[in-house]
Amino acid sequence: MNRPETTINRLRQRGALSVITPLLLLIVITLTVMALDGARLYSLRSDMQAQVNVAAQAAAGAAQACGGQAPSTALVQQRALAAAVAQGFEGSDQDLNVQLGVIADADSSGVVAFESVDHIARSNAVLVSYTRTEPISMLLPQSVFGGISLSVNAAVRKEVVATVSAAGGTVGVGGDATLLGSLLGVVLNQPGFSLDPTDLNSLENATVQLGDLLTATGVNDLVDLLDLDASELAAAIRDVGTATAPVADLLDGIVTAQGIDTIKVGDIISVVENASVPASSEFPVYDLVISLVLNLAEQQQAGAGGLLSLPLDINNLSVPLIANINTVDLGLNVGEPPTVAVGPARQDEDGEWVTRFYAPDVTLQLSAQVELLPINLGPLLSLSLADLTVPLAVNAGGGEGQLISADCARGTSNSVEFGVNLEREVARIVTGRLTAAGELQPERLEANVGRLSLLSGLLPPIEGILYLNAEVDGEVPGIEETVFLDPRYDLYCDPIEGCDQSQYNDLGDGLSGLDLEITVHEASLLRSSFGLINLTPLLNPILDPVLELLSDVISSLAEGLINPLLRTLGVGLGGISVNVSAANQDGIQLIENIAVEEPEQ
């Protein structure tokens, strides 16, 4: 029986559907499984990424740039693992690869990469990598579809950038009776220049915001500011309204001072690796002014034979043991002006701390005529315990410091503890003068002990019962110590009062550890117009009290005159100070799946 054509076609369609339907169902199921597996793998990779993210963030706080006094690789790994486990990590310790390094734009291409380091002291970042192999499908046979390797990494940079200086304070500053007043008069070519100590003392904690300096100079960031002339920095400090009227006059004088055009802002402010500094960062005004002045002095002393001659009137100065002082001359040589440094607490590839700051390295020359305990009864009798001509040369030693640690803010703490290493060179005081290169040149002093004039005009005066010709050489030992600034630096800046400052003040007491050696070249009795009797060998047994007197006189000059003068420039015999005027922790950076570069061998 012949079936209709339509019936035959219908039967054929049914047969085709019976074959195609299972295949379609199989394809749908396979695609569904693959979609589910894809979602599973994506979710798994997202979980892995979250785990390395939190691990890197936790560990970065223990790297050198933020790890505080004693950062360690073990602590970095512990923090990374603990944070990852808290985020759901279930692998073994070995599955989580933790590396210390730096995040930097090594080739200045604008693309940052992670570079591992061989020592934790160089680190400002942590890279955490995690790799695991998973079957492509949880339902389909692994023997057919195989597995897939999932790899993720995250690097976190965390460091605080601090503004550190060591130009000291404003102790005893002002007027012609101080070194600074005399120095300013010479440097600015304004004899008699004076500053009210009250005005300068008001600057001791005064700061100027970077944003104000940038606006006043018309540049965009701190790196651009460094290439400008120092005169523009002085003008900007004046224009932002920080300075009092006398200080504004000082800044006006600096702007037009001889030699200012050879000094760049980069000579005053040192910025490490073009560190990013927010506009709210602050710089100490006093330290900037002192650095400007000493940079000018360094430039000008070259044309003055290596030594600036400073007028100084100390006739009315009161110094223990000494009745009268007549200054013959005072000279200054600047070896190294101070700097204001901006940077983090870590080392470079050569093992040197990247943020280094310098205290003023200056040498003074003072020639003084000193009279001890004079008694004058007219023509009948006049006497004095001793008359001395004392040429003194004093090298304050200079010094430097390095920012070596920062215990960064974390959790509920919004403060940073800074550690600095301070190195002060040996300070030296001798009877002598300075060479054009600023080196000490020993020279003898003369002392007439027991000057006596009896019946003046009738009897010849005795210039000295005892005459001494001697040299004095003394040293204040250098220091090298690590100091942790207390209290911790608060990162919060008040909108009105500005940022905090954290200071460590140690200008030295001037005489701590001073070891004076006196070498007698000649000792004579009864020096008068008739001549003298040289009895040096016979006088040795009785010289001790006289030498002790000489030592006391030199010490009194150092304590009552030299050390206070040095302190006006922020230095002192045997000490060094440090000031942190700004710090920011804004540079925290998380980069997922960052490019990793191997360090150069």
SS3 string, 353-405, reads ECCEEEECEEEEEEEEEEEEEEEECCCCEEEEEEEEEEEEEEECCCEEEEEEE
User: What residue spans of 379-531 are helical by DSSP H?
Assistant: none
63 within 8 A of 71, measured Cβ to Cβ: yes
The rounded distance, in Å, linking the Cα atoms of 537 and 514 is: 28
Instruction: Enumerate long-range contacts of 435-438, CB under 8 Å, 24 or more apart.
Output: 435/306, 436/305, 436/306, 436/307, 437/306, 438/306, 438/307, 438/333, 438/334, 438/335, 438/363
The rounded distance, in Å, linking the Cα atoms of 311 and 328 is: 9
% of the chain surpassing 70 pLDDT: 75
Lowest mean pLDDT among 20-24, 324-328, 458-462: 458-462
Residue 590's DSSP bridge partners are: 156
Q: How confident is the model at residue 136 (pLDDT cuts 50, 70, 90)?
A: confident
Closest listed residue to residue 479, CA positions, set 398, 545, 418, 553? 398
247 within 8 A of 203, measured Cβ to Cβ: yes
Question: What DSSP state is assigned to residue 425?
Answer: P
Residue 356's DSSP bridge partners are: 402
Which residue's structure tokens are 């790799």? Answer: 131
Question: What DSSP state is assigned to residue 504?
Answer: E
Question: What tokens does 591 get?
Answer: 């980069």
Q: Considering only residues 175 and 433, tell me which one the structure prediction assigns the higher pLDDT.
A: 433
The rounded distance, in Å, linking the Cα atoms of 17 and 24 is: 10
213 within 8 A of 240, measured Cβ to Cβ: yes
The answer, yes or no, to whether residue 208 has pLDDT greater than 80, is yes
The rounded distance, in Å, linking the Cα atoms of 347 and 357 is: 14
The rounded distance, in Å, linking the Cα atoms of 59 and 64 is: 11
315 within 8 A of 267, measured Cβ to Cβ: no
Spell out the residues 6+ positions from residue 25 whose beta carbon is closer than 8 angstroms to its own: none
Closest listed residue to residue 442, CA positions, set 513, 488, 394? 394
The pLDDT mean for the chain works out to: 80
Lowest mean pLDDT among 181-190, 461-470, 487-496, 530-539: 530-539
Q: What value, to the nearest 5°, has the Cα angle with vertex 600 and ends 598 and 601?
A: 115
The answer, yes or no, to whether residue 447 has pLDDT greater than 90, is no
Taking residues 7-17, what's their average pLDDT?
Answer: 59
Which residue's structure tokens are 């940022």? Answer: 499
Tell me what pLDDT residue 77 has. 95
| pLDDT tens digits for range 278-296 | 887 888 888 888 889 889 9
Position 134, amino acid: E
Which residue's structure tokens are 């150092």? Answer: 558
Closest listed residue to residue 501, CA positions, set 399, 410, 585, 578? 578
Tell me what pLDDT residue 143 has. 62
Question: What tokens does 448 get?
Answer: 């007439």
The answer, yes or no, to whether residue 176 has pLDDT greater than 50, is no
Residue 476's DSSP bridge partners are: 427
Tell me what pLDDT residue 280 has. 79
Question: What DSSP state is assigned to residue 144?
Answer: H
The rounded distance, in Å, linking the Cα atoms of 485 and 192 is: 39
Strands (E) located in 73-229? 96-104, 113-116, 125-135, 147-157, 161-165, 207-209
Give the number of other Cβ atoms within 10 Å of residue 368's Cβ. Answer: 23
End-to-end Cα spacing for the chain? 93
Residue 132's DSSP bridge partners are: 150
The answer, yes or no, to whether residue 96 has pLDDT greater than 80, is yes
Q: What is the DSSP string of 50-81?
A: HHHHHHHHHHHTTSTTTB-SS--HHHHHHHHH
Q: How confident is the model at residue 436 (pLDDT cuts 50, 70, 90)?
A: confident
Residue 154's DSSP bridge partners are: 128, 592
Tell me what pLDDT residue 531 has. 45
Give the number of other Cβ atoms within 10 Å of residue 348's Cβ. Answer: 13
| pLDDT tens digits for range 368-386 | 888 776 666 666 666 667 7
Q: Considering only residues 542 and 82, tell me which one the structure prediction assigns the higher pLDDT.
A: 82
The answer, yes or no, to whether residue 457 has pLDDT greater than 70, is no
Single pTM value for the model: 0.81
The rounded distance, in Å, linking the Cα atoms of 523 and 469 is: 7
**Please, how many CA atoms are within 13 Å of residue 390, restricted to the half-sphere of its CB?**
32
Kindly report the backbone phi and psi dihedral angles of residue 361, in degrees, each rounded to the nearest multiple of 5, phi listed first: -105, 100
The rounded distance, in Å, linking the Cα atoms of 89 and 55 is: 10
The answer, yes or no, to whether residue 131 has pLDDT greater than 60, is yes
Q: How confident is the model at residue 355 (pLDDT cuts 50, 70, 90)?
A: very high
9-18, 21-30, 46-55, 590-599: which is most confident: 46-55
The answer, yes or no, to whether residue 169 has pLDDT greater than 60, is no
CB-neighbour burial class of residue 11 (10 A; exposed 0-12, middle 13-18, buried 19+): exposed
Closest listed residue to residue 570, CA positions, set 254, 258, 337, 249? 337
54 within 8 A of 87, measured Cβ to Cβ: yes
- Per-residue CA distances from 493 to 282, 479, 584 (Å): 10, 34, 10
Kindly report the backbone phi and psi dihedral angles of residue 561, in degrees, each rounded to the nearest multiple of 5, phi listed first: -130, -60
Q: How confident is the model at residue 172 (pLDDT cuts 50, 70, 90)?
A: very low
- Per-residue CA distances from 80 to 3, 98, 100, 401, 408 (Å): 79, 7, 11, 32, 17
